[in-house]
Amino acid sequence: SFTLLGAYSHDPFNGNYGVFPTLGTLIDNPAGKISTKFYGGEPGDFFRREQAALTYIFNHDFGSGWALRSSGRYQYVKSRMGLVYTSGPAVDPLAVAPTLYARSSYSTREQLNNWTFDNQLTGKVVTGPVTHNLLFGVDRQVAHSAGLSAFGGGTPIDVFNPVYGTMPTPQTPADVQASFGIGSANVRQRQQGIYAQDQIAVGGLRVTLSGRQDWARQARDGLAQEDDKFTWRAGALYLLPFGLAPYASYSTSFEPQNARLRDGSLAQPSLGKQIEAGAKFQPTGTAILVTAAWFRIEQTNVVVNYPDFTADQVGKVRSQGVEVEASAPLPYGFNAKLAYSRQRVKKVEDVVAANIGLPLATVGRGGISANLEWAPTEGPASGFAIGGAVRHVDKTYADFYSDGVARYSPAYTVFDALLRYDLGKLSPRLANVDLGVNATNLFDKKYLTSCFANYAWCWYGNRRTVQATIGYRW
């Protein structure tokens, strides 16, 4: 079989940076709290994007359990952006109750061409009591991107009584006021790899063994870098008769980085290793499912992007935590889901000794969510689905403020709701048509999702959003 897919989108009106000063959001300002409705840019701010993609998928079954799958995709993206935004600090850093804040301007023009190909041969081999599900593959991806950008100054703005029109929105990088210069980036990336995997089944034991060899090259603004790495994965799971399946796995990773660092060099690939152990439990004959996992991940050369549009790499980051999820059907048409996660992410190696042991900015500790849905299958309410959810997110590290004190974005809890109805219950002619209404942040809570206190920047979470949908299934 051969499938050809095409997609095109033109997005003339996209979102903007949406940044708020830290003083007046995360940190109290005697002059008051900055409203979530405040906009620090100009009416002419824009972000326009055009993208197209062409994909093919080829499948061939050789019989006897062997099959070939080949796929490829070409993607084209072009974007333009021009904006003015609050750049964080107050104009007068000594003011007790500042109202006037500094602004900056930014403009980009970017274009990307990307090709991706993947070819896989799968087969099944049985040797006595042992079954092998084999996978062999080769893939290749090539990306060419080019862009111009400029970063500069802007007129100040009163965050409590904003007056707009004091400066134009830059239409091109050359239009940026008080520019620090136009930066250009011409990047060519290439990565190809070969891989193999064997999924072994014998009795209740499942073992997965896989390996991959990568070769990568990137060239950027006259600099070039080549890297290669072999990575592997091994995991085992055992199915017990009463529905419990404990498992453990170990894997390594290799990820080339598309970034130029503050010192002008190209980013080194990020190498990682992960160990995970857990269990899945599904009592025999039920739809109840409980999963629990402990994990530990170490990554080197992690790229951190900063609000001033620069990037750097920290030495090594360690993530360790637990995740628990449960879902169960309840009597009278109810379904319940529960998810909990807790992690600690910290720098364990860094060129700056004072950073060792600190978390990564904007990376949280985890959270908990619960969802309950009622969808009766019979009776007068048949066809309706009513649900509610609660989401709690723990506090998030925000780095050090200018006073030298570490800050955290506070924890928050929001509620969601949904109402859905199968219109086929009203008339057979409307079979497979659903009408739904979804509300997120139902009680319109004002909260911060993350902050860079060291840059005096914060982001508010979305206010209450209600969306109506109609869908047809066929």
- Ramachandran class of 142: left when φ > 0, alpha when ψ lies in -120 to 50, beta otherwise: beta
Residues 403-453 pLDDT 10s? 999 999 999 999 999 999 999 888 888 899 999 999 999 999 999 999 999
Mean pLDDT of all residues in 284-304: 93
Residues 43-85 pLDDT 10s? 999 999 999 999 999 999 999 999 999 999 999 999 999 999 9
The C-alpha R_g of the chain, in whole angstroms, comes to 26
- Residue 59 resides in a domain: yes
What is each CA distance from 145 to 114, 187, 257, in whole angstroms? 8, 5, 14
Q: Is the pLDDT of residue 379 over 70?
A: yes
The confidence band for 375, taking pLDDT boundaries of 50, 70 and 90, is very high
- Residue 35 resides in a domain: yes
- What confidence score (pLDDT) does residue 278 get? 98
- What confidence score (pLDDT) does residue 409 get? 96
- Ramachandran class of 156: left when φ > 0, alpha when ψ lies in -120 to 50, beta otherwise: beta
Residues 174-196 pLDDT 10s? 999 888 899 888 999 999 999 99
157: CATH: 2.40.170.20
- Residue 373 resides in a domain: no
- What confidence score (pLDDT) does residue 354 get? 85
Residues 304-346 pLDDT 10s? 766 666 778 878 999 999 999 999 999 999 999 999 999 999 9
Percentage of the residues of the chain whose pLDDT score is greater than 90? 79
CA triplet 26, 27, 31: central angle to 5 degrees? Answer: 115
Token pair for residue 470?
A: 């109609």
Expressed as residue numbers, the domain containing 8 is: 1-202
Helix (H) or strand (E) holding 185: strand 182-202
The confidence band for 27, taking pLDDT boundaries of 50, 70 and 90, is very high
- Residue 228 resides in a domain: no
Per the structure, the count of domains in the chain is 1
Residues 99-137 pLDDT 10s? 999 999 999 999 999 999 999 999 999 999 999 999 999
The residues with which 406 forms a beta bridge, in sequence order, are 400
Which pTM was predicted?
0.87
- Residue 437 resides in a domain: no
The confidence band for 6, taking pLDDT boundaries of 50, 70 and 90, is very high
Specify the residue for token string 């925000």: 398
User: Is there a contact between 86 and 101 (Cβ–Cβ < 8 Å)?
Assistant: yes
- What confidence score (pLDDT) does residue 425 get? 86
- Residue 75 resides in a domain: yes
First-to-last C-alpha distance (Å) of the chain: 21
What is each CA distance from 319 to 16, 100, 278, 346, 467, in whole angstroms? 31, 40, 16, 7, 36
- What confidence score (pLDDT) does residue 377 get? 85
Mean pLDDT of all residues in 92-98: 90
Query: Which residue in 149, 197, 213, 160 sits closest to 29, CA to CA?
Result: 160
Specify the residue for token string 């500790």: 365
- Residue 344 resides in a domain: no
- Residue 384 resides in a domain: no
What is each CA distance from 396 to 85, 150, 191, in whole angstroms? 23, 31, 35
Q: Is the pLDDT of residue 18 over 80?
A: no
